[in-house]
Amino acid sequence: MRFWQFLPFEEPGQLVELARIAEDVGFHGVLLGDHLAFPEKLQSPYPYSADGRPGFGPETPWPDPWVTLGAMASVTTRLRLSTSIYILPLRHPLHAAKAISTAAVLSGGRVALGTGVGWMREEFEAVGEDFAHRGRRTDEMVQVLRKLWSGEVVEHHGAHFDFDALRMRPAPPEPIPIYIGGASAPALRRAARLGDGWISAGSTPKEIPGVLARLQQLRREAGREHLPFETLLSVAAPPELDRFRRLRDEGVTAVVNWPLRYVLGPDSSLERKRQALEDYAERFIQPFG
């Protein structure tokens, strides 16, 4: 079992040091969130809360994840660095591929792309991207990214993106894992067909076995059950050692710890965050070795 720390909502000035601390206490990796901007008046329903309202607003900072992960890479040597999630269809694949591959090079191959299609229509409208077809664009973008990351001369002629022969450098030192986030049926199908893993949006203990079984079935149907596949699970229940052991036995490969803001509240000191990460590592990471 591996352990990741989710680091959205934190003070941007603390993020680099939090990565250093997470590595020191034994976390396998850290995850950053992503939004380009937040509308003053939000109409889109948030899909991961009962009332359709997100637990954050226009005042929440969302530093660019690839700039931030690059800075984190400079102060760590082992820690894995990923997004959860990067809203891929808000961007052109050439722009996204360049940023992600550069972070992969600077980190020595420690970067993964955790991506999803997004939920906020206003954000898509602000950049002039189509909200209704974001899933189809994402599917094609995954293919485009993998072409571009090869470092070879490639071309692409698809339904949404079209370019003649070109080469993008620097190329990542090894294939960049792509983890698909989301709990919807399309998200699970996308993870099974195209992804190297799946990131939970917050599953209850009762839901987890069914979701894992569904992913396994979908991967068999796609002929990909023999390939490595990560499951990064955010559990919608308090952390418990016995629960984590059961999850490991059920096939979960990694657990994502709750955002520190959920535990400590807003604007906590770096020292309080350090203590929280140390306590979590002592209680849950160290028993797994």
What pLDDT, in 10s, does the model give residues 65-89?
A: 999 999 999 999 999 999 999 999 9
Say whether pLDDT at 44 is over 90: yes
Coil, helix or strand at residue 16: helix
Q: What is the pLDDT of residues 117-140, one digit of tens each?
A: 999 999 999 999 999 999 999 999
Domain boundaries, the chain: 2-288
Provide the pLDDT for residue 39. 95
CA 219 to chain centre: 20
Q: Is the pLDDT of residue 238 over 90?
A: yes
The model's confidence at residue 31, banded by pLDDT at 50, 70 and 90, is very high
Q: What is the pLDDT of residue 288?
A: 94
CB atoms within 10 A of CB 67: 12
Instruction: Kindly report, residue by residue over 184-218, the tens digit of the pLDDT.
Output: 999 999 999 999 999 998 889 999 999 999 999 99
Contact of 6 with 84, CB cutoff 8 Å: yes
pLDDT digits (tens, 9 = 90+) for 247-277: 999 999 999 999 999 999 988 999 999 999 9
Alpha-carbon distance of 43 to 172, in angstroms, equals 39
- Taking residues 94-118, report their average pLDDT: 98
pLDDT at residue 13 tops 90: yes
Q: Find the largest Cα–Cα distance for the chain.
A: 54
* Per-residue pLDDT, 227: 96
Is the per-residue pLDDT at 50 higher than 90?
A: no
Q: What average pLDDT does the structure give for the chain?
A: 96
Q: What is the CATH number of domain 2-288?
A: 3.20.20.30
Q: Is the pLDDT of residue 284 over 90?
A: yes
Q: Is the pLDDT of residue 48 over 90?
A: no
Backbone angles phi, psi at 260, to 5 degrees: -60, -30
**95: helix, coil or strand?**
helix
Q: Tally the C-alpha atoms within 13 A of residue 243's C-alpha that lie toward its C-beta.
A: 15
